[in-house]
């Protein structure tokens, strides 16, 4: 993008911010044409709007489920790693005033001063 394009884009953002600040939001989206949405190339979309909506929603639901599963797995492996580091003396979990773990971990030093 040229310098002129970047400046123009920035100025456009400033104009939009000014317009919104003074209550002139502009047009809002009132509707979307059926069958106009983008879907991944590997998802076979239906021929009717109802079938297409069902397929797209199913695809997005599966994607979300996979994301949650990955996050849970990452948490489990992270906790396992932290416990191992604590057992080998590389890290320690910070405790609250009752002696209960806070979930925050801190590295144990090498004696460097």
Tokens of 98: 């009752």
The residues, any chain, with a CB within 8 Å of residue 74's CB and separated by 6 or more, are none
Q: State the pLDDT at residue 1.
A: 54
pTM of the model: 0.47
Q: Which residues of the chain have pLDDT under 50?
A: 113
Tokens of 43: 């998802």
Residue extents of the structural domains in the chain:
41-113
d(Cα 79, Cα 24) in Å, to the nearest integer? Answer: 50
Q: State the pLDDT at residue 101.
A: 83
Q: State the pLDDT at residue 31.
A: 66
Q: State the pLDDT at residue 46.
A: 67
Q: Over the range 72-92, which residues count as b (16 or more CB within 10 Å of their CB) and which as e?
A: eeeeeeeeeebeebeeeeebe
- Rounded to whole angstroms, what are the CA distances from 70 to 37, 64, 75, 108? 27, 10, 9, 29
């Amino acid at each position: 993008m040229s310098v002129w394009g970047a400046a123009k884009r920035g100025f456009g953002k400033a104009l939009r911010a000014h317009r919104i600040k003074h209550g002139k939001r502009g047009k809002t989206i009132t509707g979307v044409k059926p069958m106009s949405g983008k879907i991944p190339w590997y998802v076979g979309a239906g021929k009717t709007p109802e079938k297409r909506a069902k397929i797209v929603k199913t695809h997005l639901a599966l994607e979300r489920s996979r994301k949650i599963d990955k996050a849970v797995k990452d948490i489990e492996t992270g906790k396992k790693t932290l416990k191992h580091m604590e057992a080998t003396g590389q890290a320690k979990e910070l405790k609250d005033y009752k002696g209960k773990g806070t979930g925050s971990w801190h590295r144990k030093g090498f004696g460097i001063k």
